[in-house]
Structure 1
Amino acid sequence: MILLGFDVEEFDMPLEYGKNLPFDEQLAVSTQGTNTILEILSKADIKATFFCTANYAVNKPDVIKKIVDAGHELASHGYYHSDFKVEHLLQSKLKLEEVSGAEVSGFRMARMMPVDEKEIQKAGYTYNSSINPTFIPGRYNNFSKPRSWFFDEGVLQIPASVSPLIRWPLFWLTFHNLPMSVIKWMAAAAHRKDGYLNLYFHPWEFTDLNQPEKYGFPGYVAKNSGEAFVKRITDFIAWAKSKGYAFGRTDEFARGVINNK
């Protein structure tokens, strides 16, 4: 099975590069990308998981309704994208459930940063997908973490997928920069090893990021964004279907693991 996850947030990444993007424009970029993703998933007739910040959901309840009405899973990405307090774990869950009317059982920490699993469990989440089990310079070193699902403090951990052996991350930047033939080869190897793939992206990747004066992004972030990224993800989905891989919501995958443990 392939689990596609999309982190829907206020697009505040330009602030990391010294650019000032008004909040309404942050929301507009993420909304444009989310609508594009929904179109891709609808055409492919597959379901996915949208990890949303409560801040985005409160400001864009219509988009949250579209996600849920289309049969996709809504999960928590915290309350704000660039501010975290322990109490946000429960607060974001409750707010997302209030806005959507749907149960929220999954969590992903912004920027895949560490989070206390005891607090995740206390907030009522069934699973946590906040680990990228590799080394990202300046971010984290998770080589000591398991590369496939495991339990911690009673919470199912579903790490992002990495290739076997060398643990090359199969995350969003890889999909921007490596040839698709290499990505498919690594994805197939990881699927054989683990029996599933857990891939994560962001709506803003599906918009044109090659605007250095506006966003300040380096080339490896802006490369193959916008329409080029739409083509890459569409091509990957078609390839995966041709291989016989199924797609599903992360909560459904989690229930299957928990019920069979």
Structure 2
Amino acid sequence: MVLLSFDIEEFDMPFEYGKEISFSDQIAISRAGTIAILNLLDKYEVKATFFCTVTFAENIPDLIKRITDSCHELASHGYYHSDFKPEHLLQSKIKLEELSGKEILGYRMARMMPVDEKEVAKAGYAYNTSINPTYLPGRYNNFNVSRTFFKKENVLQIPASVSPLVRFPLFWLSFHNLPLVAYKALASWTYKKDHYLNIYFHPWEFTDLDNFERFGFPGYVRKNTGDKMIQRMDKLISWMKSKKYPFGTFRDFIKTI
């Protein structure tokens, strides 16, 4: 099963690069990207999981309805994208359930940062997918963590997919920077080994991020964004459909384990 997911959030990433961006622009950019994603998913009739912050959800009620009406899964990405307190785990779950009318089963920590599994369990989540089991300088050092799903504190842990052996990450940055044929080869290898893929992206990747003065992003972040990203994702989903890879939500996946 392909677990295609999107971390939909207020677009605060320019702050990491010393740039200012208004809250209205943060919402507008992520909103535009989320619409592009939903249009692609509709085109191919595939289901995905949307990990959403409460802050973003409160500002896009029509898209939350579109997500749930289309039978995609809504899960928690915290209350805010750039602020975290343990109490936000339960608070975000309750608020997203209130806003969507749907049960929230899953959690993903902003920026895939560590989170206390006991607190995740206390908040009532069935699964957590906040681990990138690879090494990325300044961000992750998780070579000691299982590549594939496991239980901890009675919560199912579903790490992001990385390739066998060398643990090359299949996350959004590698999708932007690798030749598409190379990314497909790594994805195919990983799928054959693990029998599932857990790959994640963000809505702002589907908008034009080339303006260095505005966003401050280095080339490896802004490469293949906007229309190029939409075209690449279209090709990836089309290829996966041709390979007969089934798509499903995390909610679907945990029922098979």
TM norm structure 1: 0.98
Q: Indicate the SS of the match to 2:86.
A: coil
Amino acid at match of 1:30: S
Q: Which residue of 2 aligns with 1:73?
A: 73
Q: Distance in 2 between the 1:122 and 1:254 partners? A: 19
Equivalences for residues 46-65 of structure 1 within 5 A: 46-65=46-65
Q: Which residue of 2 aligns with 1:29?
A: 29
Amino acid at match of 2:114: P
The C-alpha deviation readout for 1:82-117, integer Å capped at 9, x for no partner, is: 000000000000000000001100000000000011
The C-alpha deviation readout for 1:140-191, integer Å capped at 9, x for no partner, is: 2000000000000100001000011000000000110000110010001100
Q: Distance in 2 between the 1:183 and 1:123 partners? A: 36
Q: 1:50 deviation in Å?
A: 0.2
Q: 1:255 deviation in Å?
A: 2.1
Q: Distance in 2 between the 1:224 and 1:60 partners? A: 26
Q: Which residue of 1 aligns with 2:190?
A: 190
1:6 aligns with 2:2: no
Q: 1:58 deviation in Å?
A: 1.4
Unaligned runs of 5+ in 1: none
Q: Distance in 1 between the 2:58 and 2:24 partners? A: 13
Q: Which residue of 1 aligns with 2:127?
A: 127
Q: 1:214 deviation in Å?
A: 0.5
Q: Indicate the SS of the match to 2:233.
A: helix
1:138 aligns with 2:138: yes
Q: Indicate the SS of the match to 1:21.
A: coil
Q: Distance in 1 between the 2:163 and 2:112 partners? A: 18
Q: Indicate the SS of the match to 1:11.
A: coil
Q: Distance in 1 between the 2:246 and 2:63 partners? A: 26
Q: Distance in 1 between the 2:115 and 2:255 partners? A: 22
Q: Indicate the SS of the match to 1:156.
A: strand
Q: Distance in 1 between the 2:106 and 2:117 partners? A: 12
Q: Which residue of 1 aligns with 2:85?
A: 85
Amino acid at match of 1:73: E
The C-alpha deviation readout for 1:100-142, integer Å capped at 9, x for no partner, is: 0011000000000000111111100000000000011101200
The C-alpha deviation readout for 1:187-211, integer Å capped at 9, x for no partner, is: 0110011110000000000000111
Amino acid at match of 1:92: S
Q: Indicate the SS of the match to 2:20.
A: coil
Q: Distance in 2 between the 1:54 and 1:62 partners? A: 14
Equivalences for residues 1-261 of structure 1 within 5 A: 1-257=1-257
Amino acid at match of 2:39: E
Q: Distance in 1 between the 2:83 and 2:29 partners? A: 20
Cα RMSD (Å) of the superposition? 0.6
Q: Indicate the SS of the match to 1:198.
A: strand
Amino acid at match of 1:185: A
Amino acid at match of 1:108: R
State which drifts further: 142-151 or 63-72.
Answer: 63-72
Q: Indicate the SS of the match to 1:35.
A: helix
Q: Distance in 2 between the 1:152 and 1:4 partners? A: 23
Q: Distance in 2 between the 1:254 and 1:130 partners? A: 16
Q: Indicate the SS of the match to 2:51.
A: strand
Amino acid at match of 1:198: N
Q: Aligned residues, how many?
A: 257
State which drifts further: 53-62 or 119-128.
Answer: 53-62
Structure 1 stretches of at least 4 aligned residues deviating more than 3 Å after TM superposition: none
Q: Distance in 2 between the 1:254 and 1:86 partners? A: 24
